Amino acid sequence: MAMASSTDYSAKLDLTTCSICLETFKTPKYFPCLHSFCEGCIKTYITTTFVQTKGGVNCPVCRMYVPKPEDIGIEEWSSKLPTNHILVSLIDMNESKSGEKLCMACARENETESASSWCINCAEALCKSCERYHRRHKSSTNHKLIDIENYGTTELPLQQAEIPCTEHPDEKLKAYCSDHSAICCMTCVMLKHRKCDNVGSIQDAAEEMKKSREVESFPDALNKITNSLVTMVHYTAENLQNLDKDIEKMKIDVDILFTKLSDHLSKLKSDIMSEISKIEKEIRPEIEDKHDEIKCKISTIENDLALFQTNMKYAPPAQFIQAMEKLMEQRSILEQFVNEEDRQLKEIRVTFDANEKLLEIEKDIKVFGEVNIRRRSRTGMLRSTDRQVDMGSVVPTLSSEVNIQCDVTGIAVLENDLVLLSNYSNNAIELRDHQCSSVLSSLSLPGYTWGIKMTSDTEGAVAVSAHGLIIFNIQNNQITKIKEISTNVNCDFVYHQGKYYIGCNKNIAVYDSNHHKVRDISVDNDVGGMAVRDDTSLCYTVWGDRELYCITMDGTPVFTYTHDKLHYTSGVTVDHAAYIYICGWSSRNVHQLSHDGKLQRIVFDNLSLGPYCVSFNKLGDKAVIGCYNRVLSYDMK
């Protein structure tokens, strides 16, 4: 394992910066979690945050809870924290390289003198006068002093510096008790460890510990933990992406449901209003006719009364008799009309009786729906990571070759090893079993289907020529279309950090999670297959050409790959180990590249048919290649 050289101080310089004030440490103190801070910085931090906690504080860096010792107050807690002497020495070493070193003994008396030597045992810079007295004093006569000009060119001062005992500040730590795992000064040994069987020099204990298997394997153990944490970071980042998508989907679903209910209620309203209009047209003429008829009878009566009075006053006898006979007949008819209408005339009212279920909505339906948080266990996630295949050396073994009678222009292996593919010949996408022999479900689409990818556990997208990107959902092995991004897509796309990057001729169109176009990335070639290389770059091929291009997310070229054994490039993908795979259709092979674009090997060669696309499962132990009329499956073990 490569180790830093003795003069490599770049890492040390990083260690000498306080994470609170972001300046070089001033009296570095450290917590039990080993994170160090300036004494003044951590004092301010403790006094401002202690009130908000119960009996302690959280480390500003790792959030580890640190309880306050019972026998000291908040104000003095920071001064009682252990001093990080190695950091003090590192800072002194760096300062000695960057400028004049002053005598630390004189500085304590507020005097300024240039240092001429460094005491390794005391870890102090001394001027010539102090050096002279230092050599004379009985307690320091055997201390090792070096010239100040040589300080900083070797790690010896750091390794031989003596640290004072916290219980007996005037004495240095010189012994180690293995029985109690305690570092001691000689007074500690006499008072507390005189009956212990395993007390030796601290130098011997340190050398023995350095040679122990646990210390030798310590970097590897930390690297393994780091890999596990990186995997966890990946999943939490994925959760954030999924949260954005889920929130947006829920909002859309609520709007769709509201619109659906609103449209349905509007239709019901329209229907009942039409019914009201129809009833009005039927009833109103009937009532109005009867109303007019009755009013006519009243007019008739008024006319008869006028005739009666005129005849009584002016008519000759013969005419009077004739008129009265007709008026009496008219009266009889009116009486008959009144009698009949009195029996037949009814009160007519039109009422609206609401649907009882509608009336109960306000009482029965109190919420529009429920928002649920699904927490699916990731148990075994890290063990799965440990089982991932070494993709740089694994030898693929053909496990099946299935004839499916269509051009497979896009393919994706799901987490459960089911296979999702683009059926170019039939303008469809299909979900097949892990052997690709049976179709579990399919979705017909309006054009030729190309690149297909899952963007989450249940949602994916497929590029459809002349139409755009079709977003779909897979639930219970059934594919359902959700929506469409209309754009002039070529063959493929990638989904990264909530954005769709869609290949459109010599342009990559970028759409956000709301499917709104954000920007365009201009490129020099027609974009074919596409894959995300890492968080900052993507790769694309030119369909039918011989190159692979890698660019940053803003279009800046990173590298170009070409090879005399790569012809008619098509699909491209990237595995969990960041290896890049390019399909050569007419060369009938798949090239495996390192992350920086160097040929690792031709991993699939001399294939029976030209490959359009390739995909791996999450562990990397299964590869599936889509060809003309065929799907090839490989064990990568």
Contacts of 4 (CB under 8 A, 6+ apart): 11
DSSP 351-374: -----HHHHTHHHH---S------
Confidence band, pLDDT 50/70/90 cuts, at residue 99:
low
SS3 544: coil
Q: Tens digits of per-residue pLDDT, 367-400?
A: 777 777 776 655 455 544 455 667 888 899 999 9
Domains and CATH numbers, the chain: 231-364 (no CATH), 394-636 (2.120.10.30)
Tokens, residue 572: 């491209």
Helix axes 317-344, 218-314, angle to 10 degrees: 160
Tokens, residue 547: 């190159």
Q: What is the mean pLDDT of residues 225-248?
A: 84
DSSP state of 66: E
| pLDDT reading at 89 higher than 80 | no
Confidence band, pLDDT 50/70/90 cuts, at residue 275:
very high
Q: Tens digits of per-residue pLDDT, 135-188?
A: 888 878 888 888 887 765 555 444 556 677 888 888 888 899 988 888 999 999
Percent share of the chain, pLDDT over 70: 91
Task: Quote the mean pLDDT of the chain.
Answer: 86
Percent share of the chain, pLDDT over 90: 41
Q: Tens digits of per-residue pLDDT, 527-581?
A: 999 999 988 899 999 988 899 999 999 899 999 999 999 999 999 999 988 899 9
Tokens, residue 229: 């944490």
**CA neighbor of 115 nearest in space, from 141, 147, 83, 82:** 147
Q: Tens digits of per-residue pLDDT, 397-437?
A: 999 999 988 999 999 999 888 999 999 999 999 999 988 99
Residue 580 pLDDT? 96
Which residue in this structure is represented by tokens 């002039």? 488
Cα(249)–Cα(382) distance, integer angstroms:
30
The answer to whether 409 and 612 are in contact (CB under 8 A) is yes
Residue 153 pLDDT? 58
The answer to whether 513 and 497 are in contact (CB under 8 A) is no
The answer to whether 600 and 391 are in contact (CB under 8 A) is no
Q: Tens digits of per-residue pLDDT, 480-529?
A: 999 999 998 889 999 998 899 999 989 999 998 888 899 999 998 899 99
Confidence band, pLDDT 50/70/90 cuts, at residue 96:
low
Cα(173)–Cα(169) distance, integer angstroms:
10
